[in-house]
Chains A and B, each alone.
Chain A
């Protein structure tokens, strides 16, 4: 039961993120969508898509994005189960930065 999904997606400029968010929010199991553009090139753009819901079907999300001409670069975060577990800082994170 996926509750949160964070994706790094490459997409053409058209359809825009407004349309993309509408299309994704209509998928079964998705309750909310947030899309942030973080890089724009001449023909394409990179966006971060955050999906929240009760039972997100990853395959349906992938298919929907592909039908809109977008590709998933990476799945950056997944939260599944009855409770969403937030990312926490650990000593390993600190040491990794040093």
Chain B
């Protein structure tokens, strides 16, 4: 059995796929929203420095990534351990070295990885324009990309739940627009 097949087996046995999907959407959404807040916030503050936006964005995404990994890993490990112990009691057998025990340990690590990588990935995609274009154009492009990422995350949720893909996409897009709107109102007030 090769490595990929083993991973596929562990994912199936531990039933981690729906949980990691939730983690992915939730945290990618967090990553995209944080980046949007930083980009629009920097624009609202006036005279935005691209290096500042990139540093703040990457710093925030790194923090979210690390906190996501540690949080999800520790939580999932505790839950999985409890489940395994309960199963061991029913089986009257130690299952640590069985495929169930291995899949359980893998699931905690996998959940941590998904939770850690997703916000960082979303943030990097949203910040990409600052590496390539002039500040003002990069801000416009970054906001557009972030809103697109939010729409795609919502659309993905719509697809998973076999509902209206466009409507679900628009729901998350609206959350991003509300954030941008609030920050722009701040700019006009102060």
Q: Are A43 and B99 in contact (CB under 8 A)?
A: no
Partner of A14, one of B15, B91, B92: B15
Closest Cβ neighbor of A71 among chain B residues? B93
Q: Are A43 and B86 in contact (CB under 8 A)?
A: yes
Chain B interface, number of residues (Cβ within 8 angstroms): 16
Q: Per-residue CB proximity of A29-69 to B under 8 Å, as 1/0?
A: 00000000000011110000000000000000000001111
B133 to chain A, nearest CB (A): 50
Q: Do A69 and B86 contact each other (CB < 8 Å), given the known contacts A10-B91, A14-B15, A44-B91?
A: no
Interface of B is mostly: helix
Contacts of A42 in B (CB 8 A): 90
A42 to B86 Cα, complex, angstroms? 11
Q: Do A15 and B13 contact each other (CB < 8 Å), given the known contacts A69-B95, A69-B98?
A: yes
A19 to chain B, nearest CB (A): 8
Q: Are A43 and B100 in contact (CB under 8 A)?
A: no
Which of B12, B15, B91, B92 gathers most chain A CB within 10 Å?
B91
A1 to B44 Cα, complex, angstroms? 81
Q: Are B100 and A66 in contact (CB under 8 A)?
A: no
Contacts of A71 in B (CB 8 A): 91-93
Within 8 A of B (CB), among A1-40: 10, 12, 14-15
Closest Cβ neighbor of B89 among chain A residues? A43
B171 to chain A, nearest CB (A): 34
Closest Cβ neighbor of A23 among chain B residues? B99
Contacts of A66 in B (CB 8 A): 98
Q: Are B90 and A44 in contact (CB under 8 A)?
A: yes
Contacts of B86 in A (CB 8 A): 43
Interface status of B63 (Cβ within 8 A of chain A): no
Q: Do A12 and B91 contact each other (CB < 8 Å), given the known contacts A68-B98, A69-B99?
A: yes
Closest Cβ neighbor of A10 among chain B residues? B91
Q: Per-residue CB proximity of B1-41 to A under 8 Å, as 1/0?
A: 00000000100110100000000000000000000000000
B residues with a Cβ closer than 8 A to A are 9, 12-13, 15, 86-87, 90-93, 95, 97-101
**Supplied contacts A12-B91, A14-B15, A15-B12, 4 more A-B pairs, CB within 8 Å:** A12-B100, A15-B13, A67-B99, A69-B101
